[in-house]
Amino acid sequence: MARAKETVPEINLHDPQYYFNRELSWLEFNRRVLHEALDERTLLLERLKFSAIFSSNLDEFFMVRVAALRQQIEAQVSTLTPDGRSPQEQIDAIGQTLRSMVTEQHRNFEQVLRPALADHGVHILNYIDLNQEQRLYLQDYYEKRIFPVLTPLAVDPGHPFPFISNLSLNLAVVVKDPEDGEEHFARVKVPSSLPRFVQLPAELRQLDGQSGLWMAVPLEQVIAHNLESLFPGMSIQEYYLFRITRDADLEVAEDDADDLLQAIEQELRKRRLGGSVVRIEIQSSMPEALREMLMQEKKVSANQVYEIDGLLNLKDLMSLMSIPLPHLKDSPRTPIIPPKLRSIGEFTSTKSSEEGEEEKDFFAAIRKSDLLVHHPYYSFSLTVQRFIQLAANDPNVLAIKMTLYRTSGDSPIVNALISAAENGKQVVALVELKARFDEENNINWARRLEQAGVHVVYGLVGLKTHTKVVLVVRQEGDRIRRYVHVGTGNYNYKTARLYTDLGLLSCREELGADLTDLFNYLTGYSRQRSYRKLLVSPVNMRDRMTTLIRREIEHCKNGNSGRIIAKMNSLVDPQIIATLYEASRAGVQIDLIIRGICCLRPGLPNISENIRVVSIVGRYLEHSRIFYFQNNGQDELYIGSADWMTRNLDRRVEAVTPIDDPGIAKDLQEILGILLSDNRQAWELQPDGSYIQRRPTNGEPERSSQVILTEMALHAGGFA
């Protein structure tokens, strides 16, 4: 009798044990940022910068993510995350994880960075360590420049506890009335309108007989040691610093908003005041009674209070980056012009060719072949920004359409769009008013653009427009040609120096037709469900990405190999993760380059043993998205604005473009290979959720992908 075939047990790939928590994964990303401040290989002022970034990141995390969790707790939401945690369990885990990190950050600053700065003549002094001459100078400075700005606020039956604004640094002051012996509480806000560090003039920069390059005292200490002027006749008993963080996410009911711009302006006014308190940072020396009073008045529990040893609000350390010590900072790097643009007229002394010959101009270069721009290695100002500026002033350009998610306050691109409208072109700007913490800037741009005659659109109800695209329509002889830019990053020349991003400049007809359809979808009424080339969220991107992953599975099942490489900011979506698990189980080899949040657990036997995850944290913020599918030797590559997050696939308008140019496809594969070989800034995600930083071994040379890519751009003329 034949033996029955053994049944292989089914595995539930959505089991919570196979997923990391989103919030805790983000904290691990911020731990990697903090590590740059701890790493002795990092230059000193850069270490200071990373400590400031760590603090700034935490502020936003509390204002948005922690605030949302607390709202869920108040609303008694019981829904579990894919990793099986309730909102309260997440809050508890955040506190347990974060407190040691904050302690480590402040210990590093006080015990390592601060003394190291002093060794280089940079002194952040405590007021009590000043000599008499320095104190007299600061007293005079205080009376003339600080005292007029201050407002002491008493707390008693006639004065209720004052409102404390979001992210404000404050002094909790206890004073005693000598007439009746009563003690009173008052709050003094440290003005954010004044510099955080009060510098001493050159003639007073003496310490232990040696001159210092830069010497300053924290503003709050200058105020604290001159409190008598704010409370004349009172005896100052004690003072302690504290800082408040509030819920700062906007809530706009778009369906009910007749005017979205006006509705967001109203919400911004609420944000300035702030929502409920989500965190209080206090000096660890603050007595229990004072701490309890703050907690009671601000309606917070003990797990929302963070004790700090040393300076509060270390994100203000970023101001020290302006100190002239170039050897303690990364050397400045000048971005280059891509090789394919170097021969065009405006970048050379060559004049335009005679009539009948094709001019050597920007548009001609794009007609000749698609162009890949890779920032900050390639100049943003001389590529993407220049493309838009040229289009604005070109008499042959009929229309310009673009999306604006985030850009700088003095944006040359906004000015170019205004010029284009004044030149009589049809100009459409889709301004995303709901870009978090950039809402006010975007409102200002929108008004400026509208006043200039630009058609301003605010996007679709219920969807953020996150895509980065430009469409230029140009009359060329008896035909109209469409030029496009599809990018991974914002149209912001400032962040383009700090973020790694990619963009495709092309005049392929199918891409131009797709972007025309996309803008019609964004500005009018459209049920467009198919695109020729583009992957568009929330229309077809989820299905197409899933199909591309499953195609690799089929190749493996048919006896061939399967290979996926994906680079992005975050991987969160449970459906995509489950599909990647299926691919791993089928034998597909998968490398993921995920800078931030990764909810996928790699290296699990029979689940994800063929998946490897690395995170690169270095000089530049890795922001580009690249997707590679081997396709049985017929390689396919894509770049665009979307991460594999549920919000990007279902609740945002995103665009990802295929790369059809073989040379650009080769360049992208080379970039991916360099990133995967990094042994300086790369961290490998472990099955337990921890990250281990790669280090050179056995005499192996150090390979920083960002340094290699910079050198390739500068010395090899590009990536080709």
Positions marked catalytic:
466
Residue 162 CB contacts under 8 Å (≥ 6 apart), including other chains: 153, 155, 187
User: From CA 378, how far away is CA 487, in angstroms rounded?
Assistant: 14
User: From CA 601, how far away is CA 164, in angstroms rounded?
Assistant: 41
Contact 398, 481 (CB under 8 A): no
> Cα dihedral angle (268, 270, 271, 274), rounded to 10 degrees?
170
Contact 217, 198 (CB under 8 A): yes
3-class DSSP state of 316: helix
Contact 228, 204 (CB under 8 A): no
What is the chain's length?
720
User: From CA 103, how far away is CA 116, in angstroms rounded?
Assistant: 19
The two structure tokens encoding residue 555: 């190749």
- CB-based burial, 174-210: b 16+ in 10 Å, e otherwise: bbbeeeeeeebbbbbbbbeeeebbbebeeebbebeee
| Nearest by Cα to 197 from 125, 144, 115, 136 | 125
The two structure tokens encoding residue 273: 């005041």
Contact 278, 245 (CB under 8 A): yes
CA-based end-to-end distance of the chain: 65
What single DSSP character describes residue 275? S
Residue type, 257: A
* Phi and psi angles of residue 47, each rounded to the nearest 5 degrees, phi first: -65, -40
- For residue 134, the surrounding DSSP H or E stretch is helix 132-141
CA angle 186, 187, 188 (to 5 degrees): 125
Residue 483 CB contacts under 8 Å (≥ 6 apart), including other chains: 363, 366, 387, 391, 471, 472, 474, 505, 506, 507, 512
Beta-strand (E) ranges in 247-355? 277-283, 305-308
| Nearest by Cα to 125 from 215, 214, 212 | 215
> Cα dihedral angle (576, 579, 583, 586), rounded to 10 degrees?
170
The two structure tokens encoding residue 231: 């409370």
User: From CA 222, how far away is CA 134, in angstroms rounded?
Assistant: 11
Residue type, 43: L
- For residue 120, the surrounding DSSP H or E stretch is none
